[in-house]
Chain A
Amino acid sequence: MIAWTIYVTFAGAILLLFLPRTSARWIALATTVAGFAISLLALSRMPIVDLATFKTIVRIPWVPMLGMEYHLAVDGISLTLALVTGLTAVSAVLFSWDVDHRQNEFFFWLLLVVGGSYGVFFSADLFLLFVFYELVIVPKYFLIAIWGSTNKEYGAMKLTLYSFFGGALVFIGIIAAYAATGSLNLYDLAQFQFSTQLQSWAFPVLFLGFAVLAGIWPLHTWAPTGHVAAPTAGSMLLAGIVMKLGAYGALRVAMNIFPQGFHMWSRYIAVFAVIGILYAAAVALRQRDLKFVIGYSSVSHMGFVLLGLATANALGVSGAVLQMFSHGVIGALLFAIAGTIYRRTHTRDLDTLSTMGLSRALPFAAFAFVIASAASMGIPGFSGFAAEITILIGTWKSYPMAVWITGAGMVLVAAFTLRALKKSFFDTAVSTNGGTTSVSSNASANALPPITIAEKWGAGLLMFATLAIGLYPRLLLDRIMPAVEAMRFLKQ
């Protein structure tokens, strides 16, 4: 059943090419909603026991001569990520409701990203996974280069080349595993005992290849530029889905098939993750562009994911998966709000925004941004808290030192989030600047078009998700934990 997420999405994409532009957004909405509904249905219908192992759902020979199969499987981890993909996709479509430049193409590329991501999350064959993984690259380029803003061609090209570079490393890793075993099946590979020598070099290559897309420091630089250049929906997809592809690949492929290699390198990964958390948070504190702030915050949050993965214990890794979900939702929400502000004020400069008194002009946006910021800072009751606390508990078992440093990082996160929140919505600079500017800026602020219904729905969906998981994380954790425990790299 869950495999239909892939088919529906690609069918919708192809349909878009042939239908008139007036219906484009409705088709896109219907497609993404269908995908999301299918994953929700799977969440409610599939017994938790079944999600404990990577269970085959489709298996058809594809290129039998070379051992390639069309092989899909699902477990709790895949399902969680499919959910966040569906959520982000629906709200991304809602937030691009008013794209009027070449709509069909826009939604076509958007659906390709979404469909490819579903494909990655459900692939149980390395070649198939790689196909879907690379499939996502080009649509991102076009989404950014055609519909983006601020230095879009540079941002798009940088992102694409980084992705492709990561892909090349992944490719070497995959072939190394393939050459040693003659199989591309993730099950077989996960049982195979690779030689230590092979693992010691193939693991870092493979992991790094995936981690490029997850925004690992110091290869994260594509993320802020790419996010800033992308259109609203593009940033939402990047933060919500694409960065997860990297983290998911690192977990499912690199760590799962090269456990010894992983143990050799895990502490270095932890070091890089912690540096990433701190560095990105510190840089975010200094940014003037709202989207750069959020872009760096994404890198910082993804640092938590990598840290969770590096712990190599069930709690840490499960927390990492939960954080993937959580950051997918929160990151998408933050970018969505930044996008709505930009569309109305045509600026993202924090100093300029601070003179506008936006909290009065756009109360709903302000509300949504407060929720998102709270979730981003890790306030209890939101998904960010549930995820990060799980990761930190897991980290405490493996690297107690890292918890202390990361704690400092969380303070930085809170600092830059509050700064962005205050500057963009609640700054009182207006009144201190004197009466005249206050009046004029208020006038301009009042003239802003109100938040549309579509935007409210999109934001509402994401806010609901972060609250729901924040209040009841077990909904996902119950499904993630057994799946993580089934992996063989865990140190028990």
Chain B
Amino acid sequence: MYIELLKLASPETVVVVTALVVLALGLANERTAGLCSGVAAAGLLFAVAAVLMLPQQATLFHGMLVITPLTSLFKIICLVLAFFTVILARADLSSRNRGEYLALVLLATIGLMLLVGSEELLMIFIGLELTGLSLYVMAGFDKTDVRSAEAGLKYFLFGSTASAFTLFGISFIYGMTGTTALAAIGQKLTTAPVQPLLFVGIVMTLIGFAFKIAAAPFHLWAPDTYQGAPVPSAAFIASGSKVASFVVLGKIVLVGFGPAQGSAAWHAMVAGWAPVLAALAALSILIGNLVALAQTNVRRLLAYSAVAHAGYTLLGLVAGGREGFSATLFYTTVYAFTLVGAFGVVALVRRETGGDDLKNFSGLSSRSPLLAGCMSIFMLSLAGLPPLAGFFGKFYLFSAALRAVDNNGLLWLVAIALFGSLISLYYYLMVLKVIFVDEKSSSTTQPLNPSTSADFLQEISLTVLAAVVLFLGVMPGTLVARIIAAVQ
């Protein structure tokens, strides 16, 4: 039994061991920062290999640990995102305490893998908390920056409140169904009518996840955290944590609460979680996009746009079904890679100019055409323009939403989303305008240390990310086929 556990949990084990090694290395000697990064990156790659060697299908302890093509795919995606975060951290953070920081990244990654690979509410809760606790510390990690501690505190307060909500919701769901395994809950719900207490439980659970994915009105932490936290932490919070949350949220609502879906169609609303998610989605899209218009800090702008994107991504879950879920998964994956890339550019610009306001980006295209090119790919993908992955993602998502309900019942939601995209195009273009059109004015930017040349490794990783975004836009079939095959 335990041998099998070790075998099936080998990727997690690899990451745990790596985390401990990195922690020990970091504590042993202050000057091993480079080595720590190397070990962490190697460990993550090793874990990817371990995931590839897992069996196709396996279940342990009534769904506490599940292995399906879906979980394997998303474990790999989480590991790759963590890998890019490690590279980002290599350039962005001072080398003090690097080992501790990397160990936290790895611990958070384990949390994500547990989240992805479980169909049991207890395990999901533990995964959430493991991720959350690591990320709180990562957000507040930069002791030289007051804003970092503040970002950490805000993230922590909102996060713990949200997890308390989730927990309370879970307790009601358990009380009504007598189990914490998602499949069993789904079975119970098909036979028994939905009681009000159970509905309260479902809604409270969803609130906790709405916080994780930064959907309005539970998004208030996002702008402060994205802006104040160290860049790699912000990138990981925005990407890895979000991907895993969407995977789990999808599993919970579609597998666990599936029978209580209800309908969010115009004129034909049926009580269930779908209308709740639809309301969250509509609110997120509107609030996120409208407030993003007013931002002058790129990281804050990305935060509000993240709120809007959470709204778009929810569309697929509202639509439900296989197609909706795979559209959500595709979109959130693409979004995560795009955002890691965007934060990578922000990190380099910040290092070069000492800030991440819009004005710090002015004239970037003449200073560094490569960075400018990568940033434009990321921004345009976020805006949903072809031939980039964001375009296909939106097309897939919106068409899934329209096709899911008869008579285009979700047209109202898609119309809101399209309206939101229109607004978002404006502010993404403003970023690009600053980069490409505005000339660099010497008065606004005083380089902190003009001698720092951009990190070669980081430029490569950014180029790779941009290439991924472009590739997934031109050949989306490669990933979509895998996701569709995995979502059964």
Contact = CB atoms under 8 A, between A and B. Distances in A.
A138 B396 contact: no
Interface in B382-439: 385-387, 391-392, 395-396, 398-399, 402-403, 408, 411, 414-415, 418-419, 421-422, 425-426, 429, 432-433, 436-437
B408 to A, nearest CB: 7
Contacts of B433: 145, 153
B477 interface: yes
Interface residues of A, number: 31
A161 B395 contact: no
B41 interface: no
A171 B386 contact: no
B476 interface: yes
A135 B387 contact: yes
Contacts, number: 78
Contacts of B432: 142
B398 A171 contact: yes
A153 B437 CA distance: 9
A168 B385 contact: no
A168 B481 contact: no
B-side interface size class: 20 to 34
A62 B392 CA distance: 12
Contacts of B386: 130-132, 134-135
A165 B402 CA distance: 19
Nearest to A62: B477
Contact of A146 (B399, B429, B437, B480): B437
Majority-rule SS of B interface residues: helix
A164 interface: yes
A157 B429 contact: yes
B398 A161 contact: no
Contacts of A179: 399, 402-403, 408
B422 A165 contact: yes
B396 A66 contact: yes
B477 A65 contact: yes
A271 interface: no
Contact of A66 (B385, B418, B419, B480): B480
A160 interface: yes
A132 B411 CA distance: 24
Contacts of B399: 66, 175, 178-179
B380 interface: yes
A178 B401 CA distance: 12
Contacts of A160: 425, 429
A16 to B, nearest CB: 13
A137 interface: yes
A35 B178 CA distance: 69
B153 interface: no
B52 interface: no
Contacts of B391: 131, 134
A194 to B, nearest CB: 13
Contacts of A65: 477, 480-481, 484
B402 A175 contact: yes
Interface string A137-150: 11001100110000
Contacts of B392: 63
Interface string A56-77: 0000001111100000000000
Given A172-B414, A175-B399, A138 B476 contact: no
A105 B481 CA distance: 36
Interface string B331-368: 00000000000000000000000000000000001000
A222 B258 CA distance: 47
Contact of A138 (B380, B408, B426): B380
- Listed residue (B418, B425, B484) with the most chain A CB atoms within 10 angstroms of its CB: B425
Nearest to A141: B429
Interface of A: 62-66, 105, 127, 130-132, 134-135, 137-138, 141-142, 145-146, 153, 157, 160-161, 164-165, 168, 171-172, 175-176, 178-179
Interface of B: 365, 380, 385-387, 391-392, 395-396, 398-399, 402-403, 408, 411, 414-415, 418-419, 421-422, 425-426, 429, 432-433, 436-437, 476-477, 480-481, 484
19 contacts: A63-B392, A64-B477, A105-B436, A131-B387, A134-B391, A135-B386, A135-B387, A141-B429, A142-B432, A145-B436, A146-B437, A153-B433, A168-B418, A168-B421, A171-B418, A172-B411, A172-B415, A175-B399, A178-B403
